[in-house]
Amino acid sequence: MTLSEKSRKNRDINLETDFLLSRKDIAAIRKSKFQDDRDLESYLNFLEDIDAFKSRKVKTKFYEAEFEL
């Protein structure tokens, strides 16, 4: 890996130059408002609705065999 590849790898992504996006795409990205995904109550309600908390427990199985590399 050359020095320029290393420095390019460590820099941030620039939407205007690093992706094939039109000016209209970039304007839409900047204009859009993202929802607050940290709403824990609605996420827990969703998990409850799909019965995520009612799944059966998997029994842990231990093996006596030893493993070597």
Question: What are the tens digits of pLDDT across the range 26-56?
Answer: 788 777 766 566 678 888 888 888 888 887 7
Confidence at 8, pLDDT banded by 50, 70, 90: low
**Residue 1 pLDDT exceeds 60:** no
Confidence at 63, pLDDT banded by 50, 70, 90: confident
pLDDT at 4: 59
DSSP string, 26-55: HHHHHH-----TT-HHHHHHHHHHTTGGGP
Cα gap 2→43, rounded to integer Å? 45
Please tell me the pTM assigned to this model: 0.30
- Kindly state the average pLDDT of the residues 6-30: 75
